Amino acid sequence: MSSEASVHGIHHVTAIAGHPQENLTFYAGVLGMRLVKRSVNQDDPGTYHLFYADAAGTPGTDVTFFPWTRMAPSRRGAGMVGEIALAIPAGSLDWWRRRLGEHDVLRMEEEERFGERVLPFHDPHGLALALVEIEEEREFAAWEASAVPPEHQIRGVHAVRIQERVLAPSAALLEEVLGFRRIESEGAWQRWSAGGGSGAFADLQEAPEAPFGRWGTGAVHHVAWRVRDDAEQLAVRAAVEATGLQPTPVIDRFWFRSVYFKEPGGTLFELATDGPGFARDEDPAKLGEALVLPPWLERSRSAIEAALPPLEMPAIVP
C-alpha cells in the first residue's frame, strides 16, 4: 500500500502486571526506565496505567502496564504477543547479564536471532522479555536519574514476537494494509519490518498446534503501531475496515489518539498517533511524579485516588 497510509513501527506495548509497586520497582529500578506517566486505565479508572520509556517519553520507547492484581497468571500461546524485545546498545549485553543476575532476575541462555545477540528473561510477574544488542542509533533521550548508565540504557522496544495458528491472513494484513514487508526468515520465524530498523519489527511464527493464549498477569495486552497524525490514522483505519475487520472509532487518550482492532490471528493491535505527547500536561522535568488524569476524569479524582494503592519510587541502585 502507499506510504501515505501505513504504520511506522512500534509506538508502545501494553502488558498486564501484578502488584503495581513490584512493577515500578522492577522497571524504574532494575531496568532503569523512566516512569513518564502515572495515570489510570481510562476504561477501568480504579487501576493504574504506568508508562515507562526514555527520559522524554519518545514514541517507540514505551512499555506500559495495567496492574490487575486479582487476575490469574496468563497462558502464552497463539493470538497474542508472546515476548517484548528491548533494544540495548552494542556491547551492553554482558553488563546487563551481570545486572540481572545481581537482582535475581530469571534469565535464559543467550541466543542469536536474525544475527543479533539476545538475552531472554522474565519480569517479576512472568512477562517474557528479551534484551537485544543493536548497532544503530535510535531516537532516544537518556534519563540522567537512572540507575543504569546512559551507555547501557534501554533504547526502546525492538520487536514483538507473535505466534499464529494460520500465518497467511495475518501476513496479508501486515503487508497489504499496514505497510510492512517481510525482510528475513530464520527457521519457523519470519521478520517483518514497518519500513525501518530497530523498533519497526514484528516477528511471526506459524504454529498450527499452539494453544491459544489467555490474558492474565504476565501477558501482553496489545501492541500499538505508530501513525504520524490524525489523517494517517484515519486512512489506515479505513484500510483495516475495508478488509472486514472491525476497528474501533478513534478514542482520545489525551496524550495520543487510538484505534483498536484484532488482527486475523487474534492479537489486539492499536494505531496510536505520535502526539500530542506526555509533556502536554506535565513539566518534562517532572514526568511521572504525580498522578495525572485526563480532563474528563478529573471530576472523579478523589474517588480514583482513594481506590489506588500508594506508590514509592525505587531507590537508585547502581
Instruction: Tell me the whole-structure pTM to 2 decimals.
Output: 0.97
- Residues 175, 181 contacting (CB under 8 angstroms): yes
Average pLDDT of the chain, as a whole number: 96
The size of the chain, in residues, is: 318
Distance CA(245)–CA(22), nearest Å, equals 37
Find the mean pLDDT for residues 277-281.
96
> DSSP code of 182?
E
Looking at residue 312, its amino acid is E
Give the phi and the psi of residue 17 in degrees, each rounded to 5: -110, 175
Q: pLDDT-derived band of residue 1, with 50, 70 and 90 as boundaries?
A: very low
Q: Which long-range contacts (C-beta less than 8 Å, at least 24 apart) are formed by 122-126?
A: 122/218, 123/17, 123/23, 123/26, 123/27, 123/218, 124/18, 124/22, 124/23, 124/26, 125/16, 125/17, 125/18, 125/22, 125/23, 125/217, 125/218, 126/73, 126/74, 126/217, 126/218
- At 315 the pLDDT is 80
Q: Domain 3-307 is classified in which CATH homologous superfamily?
A: 2,3-Dihydroxybiphenyl 1,2-Dioxygenase, domain 1 (3.10.180.10)
pLDDT-above-70 percentage for the chain:
98
pLDDT-above-90 percentage for the chain:
97
Find the mean pLDDT for residues 69-73.
95
- With 0-12 / 13-18 / 19 or more C-beta atoms within 10 angstroms meaning exposed / middle / buried, residue 210 is middle
Report helix, strand or coil for 241: helix
Find the mean pLDDT for residues 111-126.
98
**Ranges of each domain in the chain:** 3-307
Q: pLDDT-derived band of residue 309, with 50, 70 and 90 as boundaries?
A: very high
Per-residue pLDDT at 108 exceeds 80: yes
Per-residue pLDDT at 272 exceeds 70: yes
Q: What is the pLDDT of residues 198-248, one digit of tens each?
A: 999 999 999 999 999 999 999 999 999 999 999 999 999 999 999 999 999
Q: pLDDT-derived band of residue 318, with 50, 70 and 90 as boundaries?
A: low
